[in-house]
């Protein structure tokens, strides 16, 4: 059975939306997708480091549309692992585990990997929103489109824009 490593933030957890919400709360105006497209998160959201270290940021992130039902289908056909470089934000570990338990109860703890860097991951397929995680991965790679990677395209990774698109490829 093929193994799929699936990133959490920006792939199943909509952290771009979470950044937009926090930024609007702090500055009184919601930025448009056009304003943040192609910008690194730190440039698009000046307080993003404060946000990711604040209690509740990861626990209350919205779920990426269609990710639950499609991930459940993938989990029936593949060996699925949720892989998150969560140790960069140690306070996020419990929040991410609780979030996964609430929104993806069909993913048991044995299929959750919190790590520092993802080069340790052994799988056939990786779905992630950051080139740094995909570039050194030896298997098939899917770049999940997010505002911070809109203007980047190296041709090495298949860009996907939604979970239904992933389903059409992998199911």
Per-residue buried b or exposed e for 118-151, using 16+ beta carbons within 10 Å of the residue's own CB: beebebebbbbbbbebbeebeebbbbbebbbbee
Residue 43 CB-density burial (10 A; 0-12 exposed, 13-18 middle, 19+ buried): exposed
26 noted as active-site residue: no
Residue with tokens 């030896």: 138
Catalytic, out of 9, 23, 128, 129: 9
Catalytic, out of 7, 23, 128, 129: 7
Cβ–Cβ under 8 Å, residues 134 and 118: no
124 noted as active-site residue: no
Cβ–Cβ under 8 Å, residues 119 and 130: no
φ, ψ at 69 (rounded to 5°): -65, -40
114: its two tokens: 């919190």
- For residue 40, CA distances in Å to 46, 89, 150, 164 come to 10, 18, 10, 26
Which of the residues are catalytic? 7, 9
């Amino acid at each position: 059975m093929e193994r799929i490593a699936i990133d959490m933030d920006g792939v199943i957890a909509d952290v771009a939306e979470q950044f937009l919400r926090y930024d609007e709360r702090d500055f009184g105006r919601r930025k448009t997708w056009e304003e943040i497209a192609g910008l690194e998160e730190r440039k698009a959201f000046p307080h993003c480091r404060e946000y990711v270290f604040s209690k509740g940021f990861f626990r209350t992130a919205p779920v990426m549309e269609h990710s639950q039902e499609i991930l459940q289908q993938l989990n029936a056909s593949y060996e699925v692992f949720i892989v998150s470089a969560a140790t960069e934000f140690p306070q996020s570990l419990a929040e991410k585990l609780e979030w996964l338990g609430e929104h993806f109860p069909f993913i048991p703890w044995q299929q959750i990997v919190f790590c520092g860097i993802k080069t340790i991951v052994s799988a056939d397929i990786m779905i992630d929103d950051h080139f740094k995680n995909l570039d050194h991965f030896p298997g098939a790679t899917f770049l999940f489109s997010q505002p911070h990677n809109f203007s980047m395209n190296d041709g090495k990774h298949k860009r996907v824009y939604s979970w239904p698109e992933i389903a059409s490829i992998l199911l």
